[in-house]
Amino acid sequence: MTTDNQLTCLVDGEPVSLETSLQLAELDAGLRNRIKREFPQSQPGDYICGHHLLKYRLEHVDAMINADLKQTKKINNKLTKALQSDDYDIVDVNETLTESLTFGQKISDDVAHFGGSWGFIFAFMFVLLAWMFVNGLHLFGINFDNYPFILLNLVLSCVAAIQAPIIMMSQNRSADRDRMMAENDYHVNLKSEHELRLLHAKVDHLAQNQVPHTMEIARFQLEILGEIRQELGELRTQEHVGSTTTRRESPHEDVDHS
């Protein structure tokens, strides 16, 4: 503040100079608000000395660091809980289906597996050709199904009638397997999405808060270093002036002694 055209510090009321003080209007908004909370009657034109300004700067930096650490810890706790959470029902599909497999289902799987292989095709073709050759050519005196092989047609119809529902049973089990795998994929994707949201929130926190705060802290450091450099320069100037004055006074003292 200013009293009778003399600059005084807002904090302790001691006289200050323009070189060793700053106006509140020149300070950062966050730092100015921190000072204003402690001194509600302060005005933008008031001055604060470098000593007290350093104290408020350090408090402001500590507050920013603590706020960032608190927010980061909160996000990390959420992320850790999400990674360790067992709320997502993920099961081993093969193990679950194998444990619940019945004897009939095992047979249906084996029949479907064999019926969909080249071995079945070659074996079936061999049986058909052998049946037709044996009965058509009366080989070995065998003739139990003459042309047009009505018994063979009946056997093929029976095989198809029995094989179709067995294969459908196996397909139903495959559908159950696909459904369980789809549910697993859904739960995995849901958990991954939740974790990605937390990571995205952490990155946003870094970009929106920590990086600007780090830049602000760096700016404070540069300002403090600049003030220290200025004070060192003033001290060197005073020392130089003092030494020059001493050298100028020394010849006069020698003359007086003589």
CA distance 41 to 235: 35
pLDDT of residue 162: 87
pLDDT of residue 72: 79
Q: Compute CA distances 46 → 13, 19, 220, 233, whole Å.
A: 11, 14, 20, 26
Cβ-contact 101, 112 below 8 angstroms = no
pLDDT of residue 251: 55
CA angle 140, 145, 151 (to 5 degrees): 140
Question: In order along the chain (258 residues), what is the average pLDDT of each group of 10 residues?
Answer: 67 79 81 84 83 80 81 79 66 72 80 84 90 82 82 89 84 82 82 81 76 76 75 76 67 50
pLDDT of residue 38: 84
Tell the residue number behind the tokens 């789809």, with chain if given: 182
pLDDT of residue 223: 74
pLDDT of residue 252: 52
**pLDDT tens track for 204-234:** 877 777 777 777 777 777 777 777 777 777 7
**pLDDT tens track for 149-179:** 888 899 889 988 888 888 888 888 788 888 8
Q: Where does residue 16 rank: exposed (0-12), middle (13-18), buried (19+ CB within 10 A)?
A: buried
CA distance 167 to 156: 16
